C-alpha cells in the first residue's frame, strides 16, 4: 500500500475532449498552481505517440508539484514516468498492472460495492466511485449513484475513495462530507475561463469540510 495521504483533495483530470494533447503540459501547470493534488491524463481514442508526448509534457511540467496519473494505459504511464495508472473495469487486470508497476499507485474505477470490495481485495491503492451526479463528459456513464451510495461505499472499504461524475463547485463540499478522500473534477475546471482560479476556489472549498 502506498502513502494514501497522496489521494486527497482535488483530483483534476485533463480530458482530451476538452483540452488538446498539445496543450496538456500547459494545462497541468495551471492545475497544479491552483492546488490540484492529483492530475490525470485521459485521452480516449488518441494515438499512442500523441498521448505519450502529452504525458511526457505533463510529467515535465509538474516536476513533483502534483501526483501524475495516466488513465487506462499502463504502457504510457511507465514510459512517461507517471506516479501511477487508473484502470477501468474493462482495462488490463489489476494484478497484471501491479506486476508491471509494483511500486506505482494504481486506482480502479468502481460503480458498486461489489466492484469496490473486489478492487480492495486485489490490492488497489484507491478506488473511484461514480458517477455521483449526471455527467456530460463520459458518454457511456452509468446512471448517477448519488451521495447516499457514495457514503455507503466509503464506509465499507479501507481505501481512499475518489468521487467522480458531475462534480461542481456547488456540490463538491457535499460530496466530501460523505467520507470521500478526493473529488475528481473535469468539465467544471477545464471549461472555466480561469482554470487556475477555479481549481483554487474548489480546493479551498473542499478543504473546509
Q: Which residues are catalytic?
A: 42, 109, 138
Where helices occur in the chain by DSSP H, the ranges are 24-34, 48-62, 74-80, 94-100, 113-121, 146-156, 172-176, 187-190, 195-206
Coil, strand or helix: which one is 108? strand
DSSP state of 14: E
Pairing state of beta strands 126-129 and 105-110? parallel
Q: How many Cβ atoms from other residues are within 10 Å of residue 66's Cβ?
A: 25
Amino acid at each position: 500500500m502506498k502513502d494514501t495521504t497522496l489521494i486527497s483533495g482535488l483530483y483534476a483530470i485533463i480530458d482530451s475532449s476538452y483540452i488538446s494533447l498539445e496543450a496538456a503540459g500547459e494545462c497541468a501547470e495551471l492545475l497544479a498552481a491552483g492546488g490540484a493534488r492529483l492530475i490525470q491524463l485521459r485521452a480516449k481514442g488518441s494515438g499512442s505517440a500523441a498521448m505519450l508526448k502529452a504525458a511526457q509534457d505533463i510529467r515535465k511540467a509538474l516536476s513533483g508539484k502534483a501526483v501524475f496519473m495516466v488513465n487506462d494505459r499502463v504502457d504510457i504511464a511507465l514510459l512517461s514516468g507517471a506516479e501511477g495508472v487508473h484502470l477501468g473495469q474493462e482495462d488490463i487486470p489489476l494484478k497484471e498492472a501491479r506486476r508491471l508497476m509494483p511500486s506505482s499507485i494504481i486506482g480502479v474505477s468502481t460503480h458498486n460495492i461489489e466492484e469496490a470490495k473486489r478492487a480492495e481485495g486485489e490490492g488497489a491503492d484507491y478506488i473511484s466511485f461514480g458517477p455521483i451526479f449526471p455527467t456530460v463528459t463520459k458518454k457511456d456513464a452509468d446512471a448517477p449513484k448519488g451521495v447516499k451510495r457514495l457514503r455507503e461505499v466509503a464506509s465499507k472499504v479501507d481505501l481512499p475513495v475518489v468521487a467522480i461524475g458531475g462534480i461542481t463547485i456547488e456540490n463538491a463540499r457535499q460530496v466530501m462530507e460523505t467520507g470521500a478522500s478526493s473529488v475528481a473534477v473535469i468539465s467544471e475546471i477545464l471549461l472555466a475561463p480561469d482554470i487556475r482560479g477555479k481549481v483554487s476556489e474548489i480546493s479551498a472549498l473542499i478543504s473546509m469540510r
